Amino acid sequence: MTPSATHRAIDAVWRIESARLIAGLTRIVRDVAVAEDLAQDALVAALEQWPESGIPDRPGAWLMATAKRRGIDELRRRVTVERKHELIGRELETLQQLDRPDLAARVDDVQDDVLRLIFMTCHPVLSREARVALTLRLLGGLSTPEIARAFLVPEGTVAQRIVRAKRTLAEARVPFEVPARDELAERLSTVLEVIYLVFNEGYAATAGEHWIRPALCEDALRLGRILAALMPREAEVHGLLALMELQASRLRARVGPRGEPVLLADQDRARWDHLLVQRGLAGLRRAEELHGALGPYTLQAAIAACHARARSVEETDWPRIVALYDGLAALTGSPVVELNRAVAVTMAFGPEAGLEIVDSLADDPALRGYHLLPSVRGDVLVRLGRLAEAREEFERAADLCDNERERELLLSRAVACGA
């Protein structure tokens, strides 16, 4: 293998092993920052040694053994520098833990460790941005520059965010555990929110020159699939995964040849990814079978499934979509859901009914500055033949929109309304 081929192979091993490695080390040292440092040290050692020695047969076990050895070396070094009685108890304990030989071998435990790590990086003591950055870094195996590029923020900002997040977790003494039954639902919804935030930033980028960023969707899908395998009895986990698979199935039909957005109604449905459609529909079935009351992600997946099953816009079961949005609106009380419901009502029962809902949202403070409010209103007005008003709405929407590709689309729709 050439050195660069070995480096690419090490990258691949890192992507496969890093989450389990950091999770396993966090269980031992009880500090995610120390665990990550040890894992990084092991990676550096691999980068030094593997180009010479070749990649070991069990690279995960090699990395774990190396990380533990480094941890022991580091602590021993400190012991000789300081006097032994000055060594704090925690470090002594860590040293003893690291010396136990059997830890890397217990595969099931390691899987549980990954789940514990997810709940830690998505802990409510952290800000939303911090949860996203830390989860992508520790569970997605993304580097700081990769995260910075994905969210269009400076590298220093992400690095700061991650350092502060790790400090916050340590200071708040956030335990390394899966939450108990009574708080599980609430904590799980935070985890699902983090994954869906990542997905959405890839699916409809809020800023920048690209309309979609598929790599972020892939990262979110991967996290969703990992979580679904770790928590197979949680309906909403399957619901979220089904929702993401169904939405991702449209990714390649969602962008035109010049990078412009293509809306659902105009998409070539033959270009949808049918493997993802099938996986999404199967995931939705699993979610629906698990318990009676459908959660918000499962309801959204059910809506996405109505589109996935339809061969065209006209053949879509719009009344069912309206009913599902009714359920979702009752559950969330969200004005964004209400706005989506207005679109479905327009399609099912005509633009007058849709406009009534849109206009009832006009003064909602949560939608102030949200470009999709005037965009939807413009859409409904076009259907009513009120083109001059529609044009104004599309122009207003374009003004509010931060994504360049989407703004171009809105402006072209304004132009299409005529003078």
Residue of 148, 188, 205, 226 that binds another protein (CB under 8 A): 226
Q: Indicate if the alpha-carbon torsion angle 209, 214, 218, 220 is positive or negative.
A: positive
- Contact call for residues 281 and 224 (beta carbons, < 8 A): no
279 binds another protein (CB under 8 A): yes
Residue of 40, 49, 97, 111 that binds another protein (CB under 8 A): 111
275 binds another protein (CB under 8 A): yes
Q: Which of residues 307-346 bind another protein (CB under 8 A)?
A: 311-312
105 binds another protein (CB under 8 A): no
C-alpha–C-alpha distance, residues 199 and 282, integer Å: 20
143 binds another protein (CB under 8 A): no
Nearest CA among 107, 146, 122 for reference residue 20: 107
- Contact call for residues 267 and 250 (beta carbons, < 8 A): yes
63 binds another protein (CB under 8 A): no
268 binds another protein (CB under 8 A): yes
Q: Binding segment for another protein among 7-15, 123-131, 302-310, 340-348 (CB under 8 A)?
A: 7-15
- Contact call for residues 308 and 245 (beta carbons, < 8 A): no
Which DSSP symbol is given to 401? Answer: -
Residue of 78, 187, 210, 252 that binds another protein (CB under 8 A): 252
How many residues lie near another protein (CB under 8 A)? 27
230 binds another protein (CB under 8 A): yes
Q: Binding segment for another protein among 88-96, 97-105, 221-229, 325-333 (CB under 8 A)?
A: 221-229
Helix, strand, or coil (residue 208): strand
Distances (CA, A) of 90 to 82, 176, 317, 389: 15, 15, 60, 68
Q: Binding segment for another protein among 158-166, 167-175, 264-272, 393-401 (CB under 8 A)?
A: 264-272
For residue 301, give every residue at least 6 positions away whose Cβ sits within 8 Å of its Cβ, in sequence order, or none. 239, 240, 242, 243, 246, 280, 283, 284, 287
C-alpha–C-alpha distance, residues 216 and 219, integer Å: 5
258, HSE (Cβ side, Cα atoms, 13 Å): 6
Residue of 130, 191, 212, 223 that binds another protein (CB under 8 A): 223
Residue of 92, 207, 229, 362 that binds another protein (CB under 8 A): 229
159 Cα distance to chain centroid: 19
164 binds another protein (CB under 8 A): no
178 binds another protein (CB under 8 A): no
Which DSSP symbol is given to 371? Answer: T
- In the bound state with another protein, the residue whose beta carbon lies nearer, of 85 and 258, is 258
Crossing angle of the two packed helices 144-151 and 214-230, in degrees rounded to 10? 120
- Contact call for residues 412 and 397 (beta carbons, < 8 A): no
Residue of 3, 16, 92, 416 that binds another protein (CB under 8 A): 16
9 binds another protein (CB under 8 A): yes
Point out which residues bind another protein (CB under 8 A).
8-9, 11-13, 15-16, 59, 111, 218, 221-226, 229-230, 252, 257, 268, 270-271, 275, 279, 311-312
